[in-house]
């Protein structure tokens, strides 16, 4: 099976712009979660989507949003970019069997640089 794929892998934007990142989960996986990783804050949970619905949300401003399509692919959007949004954005997918033991499979991430 192909792993979790994320596009693009690298991105440079300027302050005030918006950006859309894409994540394709492993085939058959229905849950997609997004994380932000920065040197200062580490890995932080952004949100989780399941069956096109946001099921869980972390503590991020409304500028961060996402959606999930019927094929389970997901996108996240950051509007009005700030310098502090420079980070590695990671996507993870899981089958969602409803069990806490379930493994999360991460993609390689999209590295966003905001200038």
Partner 1 sequence: DAKTTQPNSMESNEEEPVHLPCNHSTISGTDYIHWYRQLPSQGPEYVIHGLTSNVNNRMASLAIAEDRKSSTLILHRATLRDAAVYYCILRDSWETSGSRLTFGEGTQLTVNP
Site string for partner 1, 2-21 (x = CB under 8 A): --x-----------------
> Closer CB to partner 1, residue 3 or residue 16?
3
User: Residue 85 has what DSSP assignment?
Assistant: G
Q: If phi over 0 gives left and psi between -120 and 50 gives alpha, with beta otherwise, what is residue 109?
A: left
Build a one-symbol-per-residue string for 66-95: x at contacts with partner 1 by CB under 8 A, - elsewhere.
------------------------xxx-x-
Quick one: which of 45, 60, 67, 79 contacts partner 1 (CB under 8 A)? 45
Number of other residues whose CB lies within 10 A of the CB of residue 71: 10
Q: How far is the CB of 115 from partner 1 (least distance, A)?
A: 21
User: Which residues touch 70 (CB under 8 Å, ≥6 apart)?
Assistant: 52
Give contact residues for partner 1 (rule: CB under 8 A): 4, 31, 33, 35, 42-45, 48, 50, 55-56, 58, 90-92, 94, 96, 98-109
């Amino acid at each position: 099976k192909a792993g979790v794929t994320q596009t693009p892998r690298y991105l440079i934007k300027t302050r005030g712009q918006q950006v859309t990142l894409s994540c394709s989960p492993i085939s058959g996986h229905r849950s997609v979660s997004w994380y932000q990783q920065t040197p200062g804050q580490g890995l932080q949970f952004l949100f989780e989507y399941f069956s096109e619905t946001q099921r869980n949300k972390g503590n991020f401003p409304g500028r961060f949003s996402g959606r999930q399509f019927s094929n389970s692919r997901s996108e996240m959007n950051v509007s009005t970019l700030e310098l502090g949004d420079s980070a590695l954005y990671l996507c993870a997918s899981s089958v969602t069997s409803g069990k806490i033991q379930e493994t999360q499979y991460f993609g390689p991430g999209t590295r966003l640089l905001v200038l």
